[in-house]
Amino acid sequence: MRQSRREFVRRTCCSAAALGVASSFSRFGLVNALAQSPADFRALVCIFLFGGNDANNMLIPMDPAGYSIYLNTRKALANGGLALDQGSLLPITSKTQQVGTTAFGLHPNLPELQGLFANGQLALLANVGTLLAPTTRAEVQARTQPLPANLFSHQDQQLQWQTAAPNSFGTTGWAGRVADKVQPVFNVNSLFPPVTTVAGTAIFCTGQQTQPYAIIPGSTFALNGFDSSASSAARLQALQQLLTFDTGVSLIQSASSITSAAVADSQTLSAALASAGSLTTVFPKSGLGAQLLQVAQILKVRSALGLNRQIFFCSLGGFDTHTNQIAAQQGLFLQLSPAMNAFYSATIELGLAQQVTSFTMSDFSRTFQPASGGGTDHAWGSIQ
């Protein structure tokens, strides 16, 4: 199962831009719907690192030749550069048939991820980015090969990662399109949306038919101003009736439909969570920790929601480190690593460790050479 989990992430990240998502989800169960059983549950959890994470300081070569290139290019911290001290790195080893055993180091603020890697529960994918076709450095410099639109633009690259449409401006996200296919096959007994965002609006979640359920972590899943009294129930019923009226105005009709669905979904989720016990896993008190805690709580009530396939969207911002990168990235990784580790522990508690795959995406990586101000500029391929 570990190999299939890693293979899933590899296929998704590498082929989403180059090949489209249709061929990437055999591991998510789209190929063999006949194999479905009551215990056949799968979920994806996306953590988007907004701003462009500098992966060059996340995973660093530890062999003498590799670290020497890293140090000479990034320059030592003592000399105003960005190269982390070799002794501070958290060692991991990679074994491949082609290269053998290779030593790497993780950023010192990623100890929890180091532990997950050592236990075979974390994969690091190098040189991942949006792509239209195999492209060499010479072809990029000569502009002889088509490249993704607006390659170093935050907004465009975030859009392309979420839509898997690197040569156009997509109007649906790849998770939403997957949900379009999944819902009528695996979630036939559920009216609850298969995609949930705990990080605001994201095109990643929107399909041709699928609209995500959007929530604020830790919020109350109900309309304010209503309780269990008879008068409150009457007011709620009147509101729901108003939302069904045919106004003859398309915009108002659409807004009413969305509001009606949101009210119904909130009531469904609120009822499910009310009957569920608390998780024993302790999550860090951070924004991402709260998001992943909310995801774990919803996973806990998956049966009550009637869902066998779910997709979640989380995010952590602040990775656009043009200046003061060392301090900024240290703080961000202090949020990322404990939160991801806690979430993995929660999936163990829920008995879902081998059925839930979490993964990161980011706009792009950053230049290997430092920029002025102790930061880096926009680049391309990254490590996810």
**pLDDT score recorded for residue 332:** 98
Select the highest-mean-pLDDT range: 204-213, 246-255, 285-294, 299-308.
285-294
pTM to 2 decimal places? 0.85
- 3-state SS assignment for residue 375: strand
Residue 301 has pLDDT above 60, yes or no: yes
Residue 24 has pLDDT above 50, yes or no: no
**pLDDT score recorded for residue 149:** 87
Other CB atoms within 10 A of residue 241 CB: 9
Beta bridge partners of 104: 61, 92
55-89 burial string, b = 16+ CB within 10 Å, else e?
bbbbbbbbeeeebeebbeebeeeeeebbbbebeeb
Other CB atoms within 10 A of residue 116 CB: 17
Residues sharing a CB contact under 8 Å with residue 134, sequence separation 6 or more, in sequence order: none
User: For the segment 160-199, what is each residue's pLDDT rounded down to a tens digit?
Assistant: 999 998 887 789 999 999 999 998 888 887 888 999 999 9
**pLDDT score recorded for residue 141:** 87
- Give me the percent of the chain exceeding a pLDDT of 90: 56
User: 256 is written with which tokens?
Assistant: 């009413």
Residue 38 has pLDDT above 50, yes or no: no
**pLDDT score recorded for residue 52:** 96
Residue 151 has pLDDT above 50, yes or no: yes
Residue 6 has pLDDT above 70, yes or no: no
The lowest-confidence range among 118-122, 123-127, 237-241 is 237-241
